[in-house]
């Protein structure tokens, strides 16, 4: 089993590009390993200004919607990409728990 098999099985949507290349995929892989994450859907990439190639890559899990699904913001230099995270919970409170767990994983 490859390290990205969980990510590949949970990755969906019409945007297949993930900013940050290998490092961006590594961050999404961490999310995909969470037992309550059902699907990860990368969205549109936004670029603000010009900068040298590279830069710090970071991800922040944002507040849940009423059904417990989350949004994440993946940033790399001056580029950002919204990522939707579909969970298998059905309540905002459970989404809050998942958001806190995922953000804690990225703080380590």
pLDDT per residue as tens digits for the range 15-62: 778 999 999 999 999 999 999 999 999 998 999 877 666 678 999 999
DSSP code, position 25:
H
Based on the structure, what is the number of domains in the chain? 1
Q: Give me the domain span that covers residue 77.
A: 5-107
pLDDT given at position 7: 85
Q: Chain-wide mean pLDDT for the chain?
A: 89
Residue 61 pairs in a beta bridge with 72
Nearest Cα residue to 87 out of 48, 49, 50, 61 = 61
Residue 74 neighbours by CB under 8 Å, 6+ apart: 18, 19, 20, 24, 27, 28, 42, 57, 58, 59, 80, 81, 82, 83
């Amino acid at each position: 089993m490859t390290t990205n098999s969980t990510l590949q099985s949970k990755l969906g949507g019409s945007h297949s590009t993930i900013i940050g290349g290998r490092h961006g995929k590594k961050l999404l892989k961490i999310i995909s390993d969470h037992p309550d994450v059902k699907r990860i859907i990368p969205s549109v990439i936004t670029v603000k200004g010009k900068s040298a190639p590279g830069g710090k890559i970071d991800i922040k899990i944002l507040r849940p919607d009423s059904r417990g699904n989350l949004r994440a913001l993946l940033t790399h230099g001056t580029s950002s990409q919204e990522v939707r995270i579909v969970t298998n919970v059905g309540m905002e409170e459970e989404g809050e728990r998942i958001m806190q767990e995922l953000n804690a994983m990225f703080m380590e």
